[in-house]
Amino acid sequence: MSDELTAPEDAGAKSSLIKNLVLYTLARLALFAVLAGAIFYVPRLIDVNVPLLVAMAFGLLLSLPISMFAFKSLRLAVNADIATVDAKRREQREDLESKLRGDRE
């Protein structure tokens, strides 16, 4: 393939990866914020004070496994995009190595 044909495909794969990665990251951050906020504020309703750092630690620990299940489709989309970008890079590297060896032009 010529470089003119692979450049737009490569840019499309990278932009899809960036979009899905940003969405997944924002979703995980939102889940963490909601859990930490709930752990911090809900006990205050019954006059129990939970330190903010403790609420954040528990929010982080709870958000990790929950996000694996709650955002499975986003995670799989990110993994697929990474595989696509990696395959394109591998193909370009093999093409460059064959050109450097003189196997083809």
- Asked if pLDDT for residue 19 goes beyond 50, the answer is yes
Q: What are 62-103's pLDDT values in tens digits?
A: 999 999 999 999 999 999 999 999 999 898 898 888 888 887
CB-hemisphere CA count at 13 Å for 3?
4
* Region of residue 47 (left: phi > 0; alpha: psi -120 to 50; beta: else): left
The rounded distance, in Å, linking the Cα atoms of 68 and 59 is 14
Q: Is 63 exposed, middle or buried (0-12, 13-18, 19+ CB in 10 A)?
A: buried
The rounded distance, in Å, linking the Cα atoms of 1 and 104 is 12
State percent of the chain over pLDDT 90.
66
